Amino acid sequence: MIRANNPTLKSWVEVPEGSDFPIQNLPFGIFKTKDSEPRVCSAIGGYVIDLAKVNDLAFFADLKIPRAIFYNQYINDFMALGKDVTRAVRDRLSEILDENETKWNSRDMAEHIFYKMDEVELLIPINIRDYTDFYSSIEHATNVGIMFRDPANALMPNWKHLPVGYHGRASSIVVSGTEIKRPKGQQIPKDSKQPVFGPCKLLDFELEMGFVIGQKTNLGDTVPIQAAEDFIFGMCLFNDWSARDIQKWEYVPLGPFLGKNFASTMSPWIVTMDALEPFRVSGPVQDPPVLPYLEYEGEKNYDIKLAVKIQPDGSEPTVVSESNFKYMYWNMSQQLTHHTVNGCNINVGDMYASGTISGKTPESYGSMLEISWQGTKSVQMADGTERKFLADGDTVVIEGWCEKDGVRIGFGEAVGKVLPADKENLIA
Ligand code: CA
């Protein structure tokens, strides 16, 4: 067992009941204070841990990590050290934060290494090189197929043979808290052949999770499925905002474009695959059998509970979806192996999103498109208003967490507020 994962560990740092960040989590991120440049951090309870300071104070001395790795605005270089090193850092953190520790005198250093999380700014942790979005929930793909094509043939013939995906846009991935301007674009009015231009009317969220690459390959290489996990550093929450009316008009024949690339919101913490190890579960049976290069052994899905809330401006939030990452038909190893089977190279900092994660029941659908069934049903908000899609002023909050043996490993939040579209289409 990885030392830091021991469910019996307790920290001398107070961790409130229900916190996403017990001593068993220790995710990685980037923070800055009003007086400091961005630095690499971890989290425990309501605090960020300044890893640059922890390293300067020689707690990682034997790991011989260059100082600049932590005085950095991204965790890419840290991830690239490899899992042996990053695991040793996480284990060392769990040692020095352990309530039974006597060797490190770490309590004396507390004032130098902790900042209250709500008093710092959490920045986007990854310099995202490339972004790929999959479409790997069978429930979501089936729902969309029923709505847009044919209930009898909801899944395309390829869907159960390969993890369908497309190349997205890295430049517009933003960190939680960033406000999202309602996009504008072409739409086709019902029963019209002539498109119109204007603000998106069918703005949606997509409940997704992302995984981040920690090791690169060279052009021409394929990541074999047995090795795929070595390349995956960790995971985050991901809201892949979608403009359904723009998407519907533009997507044939090459797939999503401006309906998707205006924004995606990621949570600020990368929870390591190491920390998620205890939450492995079996995935759905894949029938028909997959081709040999996609065959895998062992438990490759993860039991991660997910929730989406919509909070209208000045009002209380309403939970509109409760889903679980374990529903994914295609797992991350299969996605990465398929992505590279043609020799496509991957880089440290690449982001791969799951696609919308829907469960079997309407309460677990991961988009308003499905929840409102293409705008034919309304969702009641706590403030008495109704939604079919997102309104200006709505804040969308995605949460995710695992729970087992009294340990809760959380991802924090991916939050974004919808602002009205610009009146002009010009840069001010
Ligand atoms: Ca998506």
Report pLDDT digits (tens) over 343-359.
999 999 999 999 999 99
Q: Report the pLDDT averaged over residues 156-160.
A: 97
Asked if pLDDT for residue 324 goes beyond 60, the answer is yes
- Report the pLDDT averaged over residues 119-143: 97
Note the pLDDT of residue 202: 98
Q: Where are the domains of the chain?
A: 3-123, 131-419
Instruction: Point out which residues pair with 234 in neighbouring strands.
Output: 212, 272
Strand partners, 180: 418
Domain 3-123 annotated CATH 2.30.30.230: yes
Asked, colleague to colleague, whether 3-123 and 131-419 share their fold, the answer is no
Tokens linked to 239 = 């809201």
Strand partners, 50: 41
Residues with a known catalytic role:
140
Cross-strand bridge partners of residue 238: 208, 266
- What's the CATH number of domain 131-419, 3.90.850.10, 3.40.190.10, 3.50.50.60, 3.40.640.10? 3.90.850.10
Question: Do residues 391 and 421 touch, judged by C-beta distance below 8 A?
Answer: no
Q: Give distance in angstroms: CA of 356 to centre of ligand 1.
A: 6
Q: How far is CA 137 from CA 207, 304, 367, 369, in A?
A: 11, 14, 12, 15
Residue 162 CA to its chain's centroid (Å): 22
Region 196-205: mean pLDDT is 97
Unique residue bearing structure tokens 């847009």:
148
Q: Is the pLDDT of residue 9 over 60?
A: yes
pLDDT attached to residue 44: 98
Task: Please give the distance, rounded to the nearest whole angstrom, from the Cα atom of residue 264 to the centre of ligand 1.
Answer: 9
The mean pLDDT of 159-169, rounded to a whole number, is 98
What pLDDT band is residue 426 in, cutting at 50, 70 and 90?
A: low
* pLDDT tier for residue 200 given thresholds of 50, 70 and 90: very high
| CA 424 – CA 201 distance, rounded (Å) | 17
49-73 average pLDDT score: 97
Helix (H, G, I), strand (E, B) or coil at 90: helix
pTM: 0.97
Q: Round the average pLDDT of the chain to a whole number and report it.
A: 96
pLDDT at 241 over 70: yes
Nearest to 42 by CA among 24, 16, 68, 64: 24
Give the distance (Å) from ligand 1 centre to CA of residue 389: 16
Q: What is the share, in percent, of the chain residues with pLDDT greater than 70?
A: 99
**Average pLDDT for 141-148:** 95
Q: What is the pLDDT of residue 427?
A: 55
CA 355 to ligand 1 center in whole angstroms:
4
For residue 43, the CA-to-ligand 1 centroid distance in Å is 28
Q: pLDDT grade, residue 148 (50/70/90)?
A: confident
